[in-house]
Structure 1
Amino acid sequence: MSDNQREALRQKALTEIALLDTPPEREFDVLAKLAQRILGTGMSSITLIAPERQWFKARCGPLAPETARAQAFCPIVAETEAPLTVADARLDPRFAESPFVTGAPNIRYYAGVPVRVRRPDGDPVTVGTLCVLDERPREPTPTDLEVLEELASVAEALIESRAVALRAAEAAEEHRLTVVRLERERRQFKQAERMADMGSYRYDIAKQSTAWSDGVFAIHELPVSGGVPNGEIMRYFPEPDRKAFNDAVMRTLDTGEPFEMDADFVTAKGNARRVRCSCEIELAQGKPVALIGLIQDITERHDLEQRLRHQARTDDLTQLANRAEFHRVLDARLREARSADGDVAVLLIDLDGFKGVNDVLGHAAGDAVLRRVADRLRASCNNGCLPARLGGDEFAVVMSADLDRVGLDRRVRRLLHDLEIVADGQGQISRVTGTIGIAWSSAAAHDRDVLLRQADAALYAAKRTRKGTAQTYQGGADHRQAG
């Protein structure tokens, strides 16, 4: 891809997130302050790179709201899509004549990392940076970029959440509840300041004793005055992470290779946390004398990732799996079936009479019917089944692998009965039924697209025969299953 193409893609992504020239938002301001505070610099910013200018969504220190793009630092990070550190800009030929170096804000030190957004139809695109700056020269350290990359990932989550909320707000009424929940979750990002909750430790190999910074005591919810609980440190890690952490430490002692890992953690007060631990060897005259490292409370970020992962896989209205999650699970089941020479059954379900509910009783009644359908699908599915909403009034079920054709027939008959729903309101009544198309993976050579086409063919054959019934696809013909 050429530079011009990358630039066009960046500007398109920047337009899509609709963040440029928006009012200040505390969540972004907190991230900029955290970067400045943790790295001890005079300035910091979250910068978006427009065609002719760089604009600061958040800034700390003597920075203007926006500047020209030419001869600035952040555009280089965006264009190269790579971190950038400059120890002394006066000695760097790229920046020595920059007006931002020769005049206010008199930048000498710079460290910045890309801030990316994921577009619906492609790979992540760099739209800006998270950076720190200072009026004094400074030798960069690996920690500078590590901290910035951690905080940049939170900025990316904030931007993604904001973009999702914006798209949802512009959608139809059926997405209204999604918008409300996303906005509530967006406000929860105000707790991002906890990203600075970290501390350092040092384990003296000869003395077999550990020293903690105050931050480590805070994470453990222990008073500093009580000292380090040597001999009991590992008990704060529940299994299996306790063993994983122990094994990682032993490997570092044996090989000298550092490690970083995330682990579950329980504080002295019994509070469950998620922490990130790093560890490396400290050498003296070429010999290992200690293990040193950091521990950071990443509970909020971990929980956020879990919620976003759940949101990405779940239909908001019905809380069933969405189309993407249905495809993911179906693909996994098909791989298992191929390996074990087994079979997988898929049910495609279309609601009959649903449009009449919306037309006669309104969309609120239609939403209530969809939720009732979801409840009945959940009730009819055991642990091996996955019910999903594909969109509109279309549903699907991946059946459990241990269900044979006789068992499936009984399940389908019961499901047809459960899908007979009567909706009423304002003196009017509408009746909804479900028509089901069934296909088995063995007849589709365990190919997902073929399997779904066969189930769809069986579904519409059933509709042509009689709505509210089910048919199974068999070798090019549709076989009546249940009525």
Structure 2
Amino acid sequence: MDIASPFELAETRRLTALHALDLLDTAPEEEFDAITRLAAAATGSASAFLSLIDRDRMWVKAQTGGVPTVVPRLESMCDTTIGRNAPLVVDDLVADPRFCDHWLIEAGTRFYAGLPLRVTDRDGVRQPVGALCVLHPHPRTLNAAERQALDDLAVLAESLMVSRGAAREAVGHAVALERQQRIFRQAERMARIGWWRLNLADERVEWSDGVFRIHDLDVGQDPTLASACEFYPPQARAVVSRSLAHTIETGQSFDFEVDFLSAKGVERRVRSMGEIEWTDGYPAAVIGVFQDVSEEYALVQALRRSADSDPLTHMPNRTVFNRTLETAVAAARAHAAPLALVLIDLDDFKCVNDTFGHPAGDEVLKTIARRLHAPWLKDCCSARLGGDEFAVIVDDPALLDDAAALVARLENELRITTMADDRTMETGASIGLAMFEPARFASLRDFIHAADESLYAAKRRRIGERRAA
């Protein structure tokens, strides 16, 4: 009789955990795609992907940047990644003797970083089922912030895989109530999830223990449909009502994620999936699952804010500024609305850094950020473009009624005095402003160039003023 080796037993348990997720060969899902986009943005990588390692192949569940969907397992870096207890980071594939002849190099990749993704099996053992990876065409390394971002995203990906697997399994067995209870006792503990059922004849609602727990209610009498809806803010309540009505009318399932307020006043983010339960060809109930996704939602939002903001000033960064300006120009062109682009360059900022040190310079930049978010500029988009360069998109007709006065006020507001060791230094700002003129500016680049020219003229003028003084 053949006796399986320890490796074969471990691999069987790993594959059982993977297949229990029911994710292999499934359609793309926005949540997984968002994780890869955030991974690429957070690390400045050319591409990112989330893989699952089957018996003989690596299959890509989500990606950004054009990664092959299927690769033989033994030819994938991810197979090496899941066999480790720590991330696999290769600064330069060419320089690493383990991977110097890997096919990724010929495909244009020099840098690889992969984090193993693990899920808990029925015995409580964490099994490696895939990897979250980023690639770059040039040698590089990960800094501490990028490594932490990947760690956070890996945790989010693991939670999402477990949640999706549990939700699919639960909904598929919702009619068989005894089996449903057994599945959900496991799923509720693992994924902060529960089941619900709405009887269409009398609108009676049934909740599992997990749903009571998410509502911060003691397990007891099931609520009415009206009282269940009271836990949602008005906008979310409308989503719930529309989704239920559409499913009852069409027989199509729903899947939504909305804000939620528990009985103890705790703000949460919840996800609900539902479908029709048919009896003798007629819709008898709507059944589904309910999940608290607050932690995952908060993490995604924080990572998005991190990807879109300057880490020092917490202002929108150049990427967000470019998107906002493009939208503003399109709106101004379509509606003949007033629009101005203001570019700001700090004067003598290098002297502050050289004289008082970079911490003092950072305080100047943060002060500039606070002043560009003053109430009188509340309807404007202010951003840090990099270094000591800032920009403001202005579409307030009242502010643009006198552009010279706007520039003068900004110059006055952005004068900052730095003092240390009985020394004082004042930092001012050179400001360029361009009004959008549809006939004059054929492209966004023309508009930005006009603001640049205005800024250069202002810098020359201020240099002349200092020399004259």
Q: TM-score range by the shorter chain?
A: 0.5 to 0.7
| Cα 1:398/1:359, change in 2 over 3 Å | same
- Aligned-partner Cα distance in 2 for 1:75–1:335: 43
Q: Does 1:389 align with 2:384?
A: yes
Q: 1:251 aligns with which of 246, 268, 285?
A: 246
1:67-110 C-alpha deviation (Å, 9 max, x unpaired): xx99934524578637x9xxxxxxxxx99xxxxxxxxxxxxxxx
Q: How does 1:222-301 map to 2 (within 5 A)?
A: 222-229=217-224, 231-301=226-296
Mark the CA change 1:338 to 1:278 in structure 2 (over 3 Å): closer, same or farther. same
- 1:129 and 1:80, CA in 2 relative to 1: closer, same or farther beyond 3 A? farther
Are residues 429 and 318 of structure 1, via their aligned partners in 2, closer, same or farther at CA, if it must alter by over 3 Å? same
Matched, 1:201 2:189: no
Does the CA contact (< 8 Å) of 2:417 and 2:424 recur in 1? yes
CA distance in 1, matches of 2:59, 2:266: 44
CA–CA distance in structure 2, aligned partners of residues 379 and 394 of structure 1: 18
Alpha-carbon displacement from aligned partner over 1:398-432 (angstroms, at most 9, x marks no partner)? 11331465432212112112222222223433332
Match of 1:325 in 2: 320
2:408 paired with 1:420: no
Q: Is 1:310–2:305 an aligned residue pair?
A: yes
CA deviations 1:85-137 (Å, max 9, x no partner) are xxxxxxxxx99xxxxxxxxxxxxxxxxxxxxxxxxx99xx99688587999xx
The AA in structure 1 aligned to 2:69 is: E
How far apart, in 2, do the equivalents of 1:405 and 1:203 lie?
56
State the distance in 2 between where 1:393 and 1:455 align. 16
Q: What is the correspondence of 1:58-137 to structure 2 with a 5 Å cutoff?
A: 72-77=55-60, 81=69
Asked if the contact 2:115/2:154 (under 8 Å) is kept, the reply is: no
8 A contact 2:203–2:224 mirrored in 1: no
Secondary structure of the residue that 1:390 maps to in structure 2?
strand
Q: What residue ranges of structure 2 are gaps of 5+ in the alignment?
A: 1-12, 23-51, 62-66, 74-107, 136-140, 163-188
RMSD, matched Cα:
4.4
Structure-2-length-normalised TM-score:
0.62
Q: Deviations over 1:148-173 (max 9, x none)?
A: 9xx99xx86x999xxxxx8454xxxx
Which residue of structure 1 aligns with residue 462 of structure 2?
466
**Which string of whole-angstrom CA distances, capped at 9 and with x for unpartnered residues, describes residues 288-340 of structure 1?**
22211111111111122222222222212112221111112211211110111
CA distance in 2, matches of 1:319, 1:77: 34
Contact 1:416 1:468 in 2 (8 A): no
The worse-fitting range, judged by mean Cα deviation, of 440-449 and 72-81 is: 72-81
Q: What secondary structure sits across from 2:454 in the alignment?
A: helix
**Aligned-partner residue type, residue 310 of structure 2:** D
Q: In structure 2, do the counterparts of structure 1 residues 402 and 168 end up closer, same or farther at CA, with 3 Å as the change threshold?
A: farther
Deviation digits for residues 437-465 of structure 1 (CA, Å, limit 9, x no counterpart): 11111165363221111111111122223
Provide the secondary structure at the position in 1 that maps to 2:374: helix
Where 2:220 maps in the other structure, the secondary structure is helix
Separation in structure 2 between the aligned mates of residue 71 and residue 304 of structure 1, nearest angstrom: 28
CA contact (8 A) 1:220 1:267 kept: yes
Question: With structure 1 as the length reference, what TM-score do the two structures score?
Answer: 0.61
Confirm or deny: 8 A CA contact 1:191 1:300 kept in the other structure: no
| Ranges in structure 1 where 5+ consecutive residues have no aligned partner | 1-31, 42-68, 85-93, 96-120, 136-147, 161-165, 170-177, 470-483
Distance 1:462 1:298, change over 3 A: same
Q: Which amino acid aligns with 1:72?
A: R
Identity of aligned residues (%): 33
Aligned-residue offset at 1:436: 0.9
Q: Does the CA-based 8 Å contact 2:117-2:154 persist in structure 1?
A: no
Q: CA 1:414 to 1:80, structure 2 compared with 1: closer, same or farther past 3 Å?
A: closer
Is 1:212 the counterpart of 2:215? The answer is no
Judged with a 3 Å threshold, the aligned counterparts in structure 2 of structure 1 residues 333 and 71 are, in CA distance, closer, same or farther, namely closer
1:395/1:426 CA distance change after superposition, 3 Å = same
- Give me the whole-angstrom Cα distance separating, in 2, the residues matched to 1:464 and 1:410: 20
Secondary structure of the structure 2 residue equivalent to 1:378: coil
CA–CA separation in structure 2 for the residues paired with 1:385 and 1:274 = 30
SS at match of 2:310: coil
In 1, the alpha carbon distance for the partners of 2:119 and 2:20 equals: 8
The total of aligned residue pairs comes to: 343
Q: 1:257 corresponds to which letter in structure 2?
A: Q
Q: Is the 8 A contact 2:117 2:158 kept in 1?
A: no
